[in-house]
Amino acid sequence: MNKILKYVILDIIRNKIVLTYIFFLFLITLGVFNLEDNSSKGLLSTLNLVLFIVPLVSVIFSTIYIYNSSEFIELLLSQPLKRKSIWLSLFNGLSLSLVFAFIAGTGIPILIYHADITGLLLILSGAILSVIFVSISMLATVYTRDKAKGIGISILLWLYFALVFDGLVLFVTFQFADYPIEKLVLIVSSFNPVDLSRIIILLRLDDSALMGYTGAVFREYLGTGIGITVSFTVLIMWFIVPLYFSLKRFKKMDL
């Protein structure tokens, strides 16, 4: 298993895309912190970057990578190896390298400019988001063997989490405006890892005061140590569950 993992990581690093990704993240994060007049605002802009770019890159890169290594996977399958260990090594390799890329690119500038709990939480949620979207892309790839279709599904999923879901939430809040939906909306938002990590971080920033009474309700539930623990557990579930289903299907797949 370790051997496959090592091979996957080496292969990804040799592929220049990850290095470009690190460089790009590093440049943007550094730029953002230098442009804003205080580091708290910088963190806010970095948050947008983390929520938008990181999932997109993670999901597309891993989808393409898995399709491109289909021959390699077939080769491995001809060896006396468990399908589970092949699939998990692939997942581990992708996640490790993308998490590493994120921490190198965004984590280091954050630690330089805003090294506190909030900064660390942002790094942590960015890292988890990378892993979640690797796992989601793996789920997408097992459902179709057509590369174009697979990439399409991945992008659609990303679009759903980044945009469409929020639209639905907005729709729901308007439909049920007469009801006390603050808590409900909070529960609904945990159905989207992107939203959940955005709220966790926002509640810790000065800007959360703009959320007024609604923000106060959110903070009551998410601002505490227990709230953060629960929400990070939910985030972890978000990569375990898709991974589990993809693994289940991969095991039965006729390759």
Partner 1 sequence: MKLIKFSLILICFLIIYSCTVKPEPIKYGKDNCAYCKMTISDNHFGTELITKKGKIYKFDEIGCMLAYAYEQEIDTTKIKTMYISDYCGQNILHDKNSMFFLMSDSLKSPMGGNIASFSNIDSLKNYSTKISGKIVNWNEVVKISIEE
Partner 2 sequence: MKSSTLKFFNLFLFLISFSILQAKTIYAGKNQKIKSLTKAIEYAVAGDSIILYSGKYFEKNIVINKALTIIGKNFPVIDGEKKYEIISIKSDNVVFSGFKIKRSGYATLTDPAAIKVYNTKNITISNNIIDDSFFGIYIQYGTNCKILNNKIYAYGIEEQQIGNGIHCWKSDSLIISGNYISGHRDGIYFEFVTNSVIWRNISKKNIRYGLHFMFSHNDSYIANVFENNGAGVAVMFTNKVKMYNNYFLNNWGDAAYGLLLKEISDSYIEANYFSSNTIGIYMEGVSRTFIRKNTLDKNGWAIKIQASCIDVSMNNNNFTGNSFDVGTNGSLVLNNFNSNYWDKYEGYDLNHDKIGDVPYHPISLFSMIIEKNPPAMILFRSIMVSLLDKTERLIPSITPENLKDNTPHTRKINL
Which residues of this chain interact with partner 2, rule CB under 8 A?
44, 47-48, 51-52, 162-163, 166-167, 169-170, 173-174, 177, 181-182, 185-186, 189, 195, 198-199, 202, 206-207, 209-216, 218
Pick 72 or 165: Cβ nearer partner 2 = 165
8 A C-beta contact, residue 67 and residue 150: yes
**Which of partner 1, partner 2, none does residue 72 bind to, with CB < 5 to 8 Å depending on kind?**
none
Q: Which of 112, 184, 226, 240 binds partner 1 (CB under 8 A)?
A: 184
Q: Which of 81, 172, 205, 241 binds partner 1 (CB under 8 A)?
A: 172
8 A C-beta contact, residue 208 and residue 215: yes
Q: Which stretch binds partner 1 (CB under 8 A): 8-16, 61-69, 110-118, 170-178?
A: 170-178
Pick 206 or 220: Cβ nearer partner 1 = 220
What's phi and psi for 15, nearest 5 deg?
-70, 120
Pick 30 or 185: Cβ nearer partner 1 = 185
Quick check: 174 binds partner 1 (CB under 8 A)? no
Q: In whole angstroms, how close is the CB of 203 to partner 1 at the nearest point? A: 16
Rule CB under 8 A: which of 207-226 touch partner 1? 213, 216
Pick 168 or 205: Cβ nearer partner 1 = 168
At 255 the three-state DSSP class reads coil
Q: In whole angstroms, how close is the CB of 212 to partner 2 at the nearest point? A: 6
C-alpha distances in Å from residue 63, one per residue of 9, 75, 171: 15, 19, 31
The rounded radius of gyration (Å) of the Cα atoms in the chain is 19
Task: Report the 10 Å Cβ neighbour count for 252.
Answer: 8
Q: Which long-range contacts (CB under 8 A, 24 or more apart) does 215-220 make?
A: 217/182, 217/183, 217/186, 218/182, 218/186
Q: Which of 3, 14, 16, 178 binds partner 1 (CB under 8 A)?
A: 178
Report d(CA 229, CA 211) in Å as an integer.
22
**Which of partner 2, partner 1, none does residue 206 bind to, with CB < 5 to 8 Å depending on kind?**
partner 2
Pick 56 or 111: Cβ nearer partner 2 = 56
C-alpha distances in Å from residue 188, one per residue of 24, 52, 170, 178, 207: 33, 20, 11, 17, 22
Quick check: 176 binds partner 1 (CB under 8 A)? yes
Report d(CA 104, CA 97) in Å as an integer.
10
Report d(CA 141, CA 252) in Å as an integer.
14
How many distinct helices (H) and strands (E) make up the chain? Answer: 13, 0
Q: Which of 2, 14, 79, 180 binds partner 1 (CB under 8 A)?
A: 180
List of residues contacting partner 1 (CB under 8 A):
168, 172, 175-176, 178-181, 184, 213, 216
